[in-house]
Amino acid sequence: MNESEDLALFGGPAVRKLPWPLWPTADVGTELVLKEVLYSGRWALSGAYRGKESFEKRFARDFANYCEVDYCVPTVNGTAALTIALLALGIGIGDEVLVPGLTWVACASAVMSVGATPILVDIEPATLAMAPAAARAAWSMRTAAILLVHPFCRIADIDAFVELCDERGVPLIEDCSQAHGAQWRGRKVGSFGAIGCFSMQQSKLLTSGEGGAVITSHRQLYERLQQLRADGRIYSGSQQLAKLDLVEVGSVQGQNFCLSEFQAALLTDRLTHLDSENQQRECFVAALRAMLQESGLAALPPVDTRASRYVYYNLLLQVDTAKFSNASVDAIARALTAELNVQVSPVYLPTTRHPLYNPLGSPRIKGRPDLASFDPGRFQLPSAELARSRCITIPNWPLLDGVAGAQSVHVALKKVEKASLQLLRVDQTPSFEAF
Ligand SMILES: *Cc1c(COP(=O)(O)O)cnc(C)c1O
């Protein structure tokens, strides 16, 4: 009989004693650009031109180049990116937008915020992204766009969605908030749909604490997106000292969703490190894959050969709960969190029952005759429910620790499996805090 050690949750020694790499990452280069902004006399795009191009404009150009598209418009956060993408495409009251039923709540709430109805669509087990067949089944006369998320560390079946959108003549919006730098058939994600959206919030692979961006190669959409994020203004073609670098157009109703110069400077600097950081995470994943192949303690998601590069915002692991005394993934995640000193989480609760998705209580749709169409309870998401009962995720920064980090995770899995009877004393109820 193997003696099991006490879980860290119950006072045993934690597996991981060393600190994890600090996230977000920064270095002297980051410090320099922040100082440059600090003493520049210009902290916002809407500040006067003082002889140097704004970081906002510079980041927009750098990120468009990185994504291999023509244009980028930075935004204050990912929610604003989704909002102006929907508005630029003319989506509003009476329109339905297909959104995945297992993702961050901002996707559905952004659709609601422009007056359109989010249709929660079930996912594919292999990617946890929206399932093409479920999208077809959810189609109606009112379907006006698909908001496709590349979730966790996977890429949705882009080919199937491009085909569906072309066939039906509706735009595809790619939400790449979890996939900075991922590639499909050799091209960066975000460049396949009409508009690609990104969040640069603290936990994302490229971050300025808060931040976001949209990308597109459509000139007309670009002009609208610029106005939508700067109160109807666009970059002036010619910069003049002491004057604003924006001209007033107002052909669409904008609002202020501009990124500050500090955030744009951070992003300009950190973008130059994105590929190497993504590579470090790949080393972690390769090492863990080899260890899991031997032990069978958990499974990494399957690889699609069309995905030419995966990136790891949240590493997904499918656990066989039978090996863990049939404890819930919530209990397993709680135990691993204590062993590893980093938050291991189950995947999102399906949006149909996510406590942060509460459209019926929102004044935005108060009194509308179609109020009932916003009821999340009208959708069925069996594959999302199944994934919620089987998968856990590890956030991106432990992955920067490479092989040593993978070892810690594998040792923790082994320890928790061996001590799994103790899991039955752990809170089994669903948590919904996830990155
Ligand atoms: C983080 C995230 C968002 C929201 O971004 P914010 O910057 O927090 O507004 C939207 N969609 C997905 C898929 C995300 O992961």
Query: What is the tens place of the pLDDT at every residue in 272-327?
Result: 999 999 999 999 999 999 999 999 999 999 999 999 999 999 999 999 999 999 99
- In this structure, the dihedral spanned by the alpha carbons of residues 136, 97, 376 and 156, taken in order and rounded to 10 degrees, is 60
Evaluate whether 215 touches 198 at the Cβ level (below 8 Å). yes
> Lowest-confidence range among 65-74, 133-142, 209-218, 239-248?
239-248
- Give the list of residues 6+ apart from residue 249 with CB closer than 8 angstroms, or none: 223, 227, 232, 233, 234
**What was the pLDDT predicted at 1?**
42
> Helix, strand, coil: what percent of the chain each, to 5?
40, 15, 45
**What was the pLDDT predicted at 251?**
96
Evaluate whether 85 touches 229 at the Cβ level (below 8 Å). no
Is a pLDDT exceeding 70 seen at residue 157? yes
> Which residues form the pocket of ligand 1, taking CB atoms under 6 Å from any ligand atom?
77-79, 103-104, 106-107, 149, 175, 177-178, 199, 201, 212
**What was the pLDDT predicted at 433?**
74
Is a pLDDT exceeding 90 seen at residue 379? yes
What pLDDT band is residue 435 in, cutting at 50, 70 and 90? low
CA 136-172-60 angle, 5° bins: 160
Mean pLDDT for the stretch of residues 336-360: 97
CA of 78 relative to ligand 1 center, distance in Å: 5
Percentage of the chain lying above the pLDDT 70 cut: 99
Is a pLDDT exceeding 70 seen at residue 431? yes
The atom number, within ligand 1, closest to the CA of 211 reads 7
The atom number, within ligand 1, closest to the CA of 110 reads 10
Q: What is the pTM of this model?
A: 0.97
